[in-house]
Structure 1
Amino acid sequence: MTVHRGRWSLEDRLERGLRELPFDVRPGTASVTVELSYDGGVIDLGCHGPDGFRGWSGGARDHYTVSADWATPGYLPGELEPGTWHVWLGLHRIPPDGVPYEVTVTTSTSSPPRAAETPPPRPERPPRRELPAPRGMRWLAGDLHSHTVHSDGTLTVHELACLAASQGLDYLAVTDHNTVSHHPELPAAGAHAGVLLLPGQEVTTDLGHANVLGDTGWVDFRRPSADWAASAAARGGLMSINHPLSGDCAWRRPLPARDRPAFVELWHSSWWDRRWGAPLAWADVWRPGGVVPLGGSDFHDPAQHKTLGEPVTWVLADDAGDGLGDVLGGLLAGRTAVSAGRDAPVLLRVEDELIAIGAGGAVLVRPDGRRAAVRGDHVRIPVDRPGMHRLETHENEVIALCG
């Protein structure tokens, strides 16, 4: 057993926010359990082994276990390599008078028992919404931001997948904080529920969050943000800036203009009054050449105010015959649209036309600010320049975005 105790001060946090407490793992060790206790503030929790990252749970847990064939959600099972390991402590919120803490590490030569999960019944799903698309392609409805028990969500991967299918979503990005421990569960859960689960992770720091989408492997949140984007691109994925104006989760990290991704989660639950133009103004400053608008519910818990699939990000993807297609390819190509929900008014770009559906009486706003009234529930409008278009009500409330 190894015990670390002490008191973190505000100066400790300001000097270095992530602390590493060492412990030794001897040959033959089958499991490691870490327990954290502290009084006041918020301390995040994680783990790193001699061969690299082994898990993160942030402030959602005060203990975890890692063993060869099982680990607490958020952590990676696997053989425990002998050597010096580290408990990660993120000094997220440390008040002026400091925070006393104690960390206890217990190793064992046996693995803890694992309870088998029984998936919920396969849900019934509403009929898919058919939207105009080029031959061989299809608009797929999805949500690009969600969480499970692998970080600070309350649903298992199976439960979340079934909820997504019952909401009529074709795909869902599962983006737990600073971990990829949920990725191995996605294919089976998605197949069971009848929904495509896109691997993702929300790279989370005190100064901003970003989603990395795709099977990219773990992205090191300790590195500069430019490295996150480069790592995602090198491995066939993409990085988007999350909820850039959302309270203390707003984006404040340095990122040179040349490294700024085009993908932005512009429509998030924090945009609760869409007459508020600040997100649109931020996007213009962030990347004058234009952004690819994305939307995500940031779903954590059925009891919260955030609803899975609100908003919906539509992706124009190659039709694979099963209705799922290549979602990541469509995202990388920038073929996106965002609406308030699956059945809400939508603005689509199909080849050289914009198509406004269910938006009679709305106002089309072009990238250069020109405005035109939309008359009719299915209106086709020629596209004369690239960039983000949007639909607004006559009161300037955004009701649809189009990449």
Structure 2
Amino acid sequence: MRTRTIARHFTLEDRAVDAWPLLPFDLAPGERALEVVLDVDRTRGVVDLGCVGPGDDGAPTAWRGWSGAARDRFAITADDATPGYLPGELAPGEWAVVLGLHHLPAEGLDVTVTVTTGGSPAIEREPSAPRPEAAPRGSARGLPAADGWRWVAADLHAHTLHSDGALSVRQLAALAAREGLDVLAITDHNTTSHHRHLPRAGAEYGVHLLPGQEVTTPRGHANAFGDIGWIDFREPADTWFRTAAERGGVASVNHPLAADRAWQHPLALPPDCMEIFHSTWLADRASTAPWALWPRWPCSVPIGGSDFHRPGDRLARPTTWLAVPDGELTDAAVIDALRSGRTAVSLGVRDAVLLRVGDELRAVGADGATLVDADGHTRVLHGDHVRLRADATAAVAGVPGAGWGPYRLETADREILAITP
């Protein structure tokens, strides 16, 4: 067993040159375990933690995991790893600790990393979860859909112990089952280590767990959906979206207006999807936040996400509805619904919903709500299930031609109830 210490002082000038510096170290043949401990004064700054191993060219380019600022220690062996990191062969050669200089004080910050190779490091175990009482899935509402299709309830933004969440994959799957979700996308930050746990946990708790990754930087976050491998957050944002599409996935801009997490990356093309309803906006549902960026990216598919991290957060608020073919629910069906724009967003699984079915709008559980189109034309709805043409708002206002989406349902106090393209 070998131990070495790497000590550095990082300044704002260092961060300007490289926000994600590498601290190289070697792994000798026969060393079958790796442990890294980060020592930094977190009262003065925020430094993220990750790891790369030898790539095909021998350089440290093979991504092995990320814990951001959620952990100050990780371990990797051939058979197991700290959540957020990938187990597997530890090839001899050049490795590197990856740091993220997220926040540094003006005078700089001392960082010490201790690397131990060999030995038998302790590895955190994921807690299990009891099987919950059966809850009707959102799809059991039988919402109106075209022949051969059905609407399923999804939460497209959630985190586990594999990044900065508090629950294991199984615990989160159990909670999703209790909330009545059909689909839950687990989108841990800058890692795919949770993907290998999803099929078994999804089958155990009866929820389709969609692989995802929240590509996370200080200038904005994006979700990449699908079992498409790791997306390098250090590349330009256009590369994230292009890579996701090339690998058969789809990607979204997350919480585009959210204080220090707001979207600031330039994009050559509109994003596939946009998180037009985020849990942080639930406290002020009369806010214009969901609509502020729509004129910029009108072709992006609207979705919603709870951004669940820990008990006290509300999973499935908001809920994204996806129109998928009748039959088995698969990753491909979910990805196709997102790519094709067959989505709608409601406050929750059991709340009022506004759907597109062919050239009609269908409002369910929205008696007394106001339908609003993108131009501000309105129409008050009466009845538990209302069906009308998509141009109905403009027609009522005496405006020729069709109204424009996205459409929304509002209360009398202009609180948002539901959204559809």
Normalised by the size of structure 2, how large is the TM-score? 0.90
Q: State the Cα RMSD in Å.
A: 1.8
Distance in structure 2 (CA, Å) of the matches to 1:398 and 1:117: 38
Alignment partners' CA distance in 1, 2:115 and 2:309: 29
| Inter-CA distance 181–350: structure 2 relative to 1 (3 Å threshold) | same
Unaligned runs of at least 5 residues, structure 2 = 56-61, 392-401
Partner of 1:218: 230
User: Which residue in the other structure is 1:326 paired with?
Assistant: 333
Contact 1:17 1:91 in 2 (8 A): yes
Alpha-carbon offset, residue 104 of structure 1 = 0.7
8 Å CA contact 1:157, 1:189 repeated in 2: yes
What one-letter code is carried by the residue in structure 2 that aligns with 1:212?
A
Q: Is the 8 A contact 1:212 1:237 kept in 2?
A: yes
Identity of aligned residues (%): 53
Q: Distance in 1 between matches of 2:130 and 2:235?
A: 41
State the match for 2:52 in structure 1: 48
SS in 1 for 2:174: helix
Q: Which residue of 2 aligns with 1:85?
A: 95
**2:33 maps to amino acid:** S
Aligned residue among 22, 27, 30 for 1:28: 30
2-structure distance, mates of 1:352, 1:220: 40
- Which residue does 1:120 correspond to in 2? 129
For the 8 Å contact 1:171–1:324, the answer to whether it is kept is: no
CA distance in 2, matches of 1:92, 1:118: 30
Contact 1:225 1:255 in 2 (8 A): yes
1:133, distance to aligned residue in structure 2 (A): 1.3
Partner of 2:262: 250
Match of 2:174 in 1: 162
Tell me how far 1:118 sits from its aligned partner: 6.4
Return closer, same or farther for 1:262/1:372 CA change in 2, 3 Å cut-off.
farther
| Cα gap change, 1:175 to 1:163, in 2 (>3 Å) | same
Contact 1:340 1:399 in 2 (8 A): yes
Aligned equivalent of 1:394: 412
Please say if 1:137 is aligned against 2:149: yes
Report what 2:243 is aligned to.
231
CA distance in 1, matches of 2:158, 2:93: 35
CA distance in 1, matches of 2:330, 2:224: 24
Distance 1:201 1:291 in 2: 19
Per-residue CA deviations over 1:283-333 (Å, capped at 9, x if unaligned) read: 22x21x34311111000101x3x2001110010111225799922221121
Task: Work out whether 1:76 is the aligned partner of 2:86.
Answer: yes
Match of 1:2 in 2: 4
| Superposition deviation, residue 117 in structure 1 | 5.4
CA displacement at 1:371 relative to structure 2: 1.6
Aligned length: 396
1:395 shift after superposition: 2.3
- What residue is the counterpart of 2:201 in the other structure? 189
Supply the AA of the counterpart residue of 1:294. I
Matched residue type, 2:132: P
Alignment of 1:348-367 (within 5 A): 348-367=355-374
The whole-number CA distance in structure 2 between the counterparts of 1:338 and 1:146 is 16
Residue 19 of structure 2 is aligned with which of 5, 17, 20? 17
**TM-score, reference length from structure 1:** 0.94
* Cα contact 1:317–1:325 (8 A) shared by 2: no
